[in-house]
Amino acid sequence: TAIALWGDRHVPASAVAQQAKALQASGVDGMLIADQFGNFIPPQLWKPDIAPAAAMMADPDSHSDPFALAGYLLAAAPNLDVAVSTDSVRRGPAELAQAMLTLGNMTRGEVMLHVGGGEAKQCTPFGYKRSQGMSRMEDLFQIFRALLDSSGEPIDFEGRRWSFRSASIGGAVPNRPKVMGLGGGPMLIDHCTSYADGLATTCPPVWANPDEFGAARKQILDDLWETVVVPIL
């Protein structure tokens, strides 16, 4: 079980660290930190008469960098699992692998990276091409695994968006991170089942309810089983 911790810069990071300590003391397995430039709240609605928190916080969009914050929180609660949710558009695969290995070196818990295809609110205002989300995700998953499996030996990779030539970030993998696809849809699920360690998703944004997700999960597992099992005639 993981609980999301929100690192708003209006709040001292020490207050969020106290929350992480409380999670660790309660027996919760881990924490989730989201990589967000902006919130889902329209600025026009961020007024004290509509949102009481607006009386204390000038805006809802002052988010902390998730990797810096996660490292700080692990110093306070080193036994927690940590998951960071981001997208495949705004950060490169080598940078993500290095960041997650660093977090893995800070915790005795499990480390997971959740990667979505990119949201318009995170991409469009900052000049990122959200249309490249799925092709970047496919490359990212393959590069992430290749770097972690390389034992430090340089790798070559020719993908749809990334080209690596004799690239290495070293062979130390003190706590191997898992990389998961975040979201839904046939292309994302195909990338997950082909290259990633699993799928992280939500209800109702992706599937309307747990029953629909259960049926989809069963279909995914059935499809995977058919791919790996060769019948003996």
Closest by CA position to 177, among listed 52, 92, 81? 81
Tell whether the torsion through CA atoms of 113, 116, 120 and 124 is positive or negative.
positive
pLDDT given at position 223: 85
Q: pLDDT tens digits, residue range 19-56?
A: 999 999 999 999 999 999 989 899 899 999 999 999 99
pLDDT given at position 140: 98
8-state DSSP, 199: E
Q: Which residue bears the tokens 């309810």?
A: 209
Q: What is the pTM of this model?
A: 0.91
Q: pLDDT tens digits, residue range 182-213?
A: 999 999 999 999 999 999 988 888 999 989 99
- Which pLDDT band holds residue 1 (cuts at 50, 70, 90)? confident
Please give the Cα distance from 63 to 6 (Å, whole number). Answer: 8
pLDDT given at position 202: 83
Instruction: Identify whether the C-beta of residue 140 lies closer than 8 Å to the C-beta of residue 118.
Output: no
Size of the chain in residues: 233
Mean pLDDT of 166-177: 96
- Which pLDDT band holds residue 147 (cuts at 50, 70, 90)? very high
The angle at the Cα of 12, spanning 83 to 40, to the nearest 5 degrees, equals 55
- Could you give the C-alpha distances from 83 to 33, 46, 137, in angstroms and in order? 6, 29, 18
Query: Which of these ranges, 68-82, 110-124, 150-164, 213-227, has the smallest mean pLDDT?
Result: 213-227
pLDDT given at position 231: 52
pLDDT above 90 (res 67) = yes
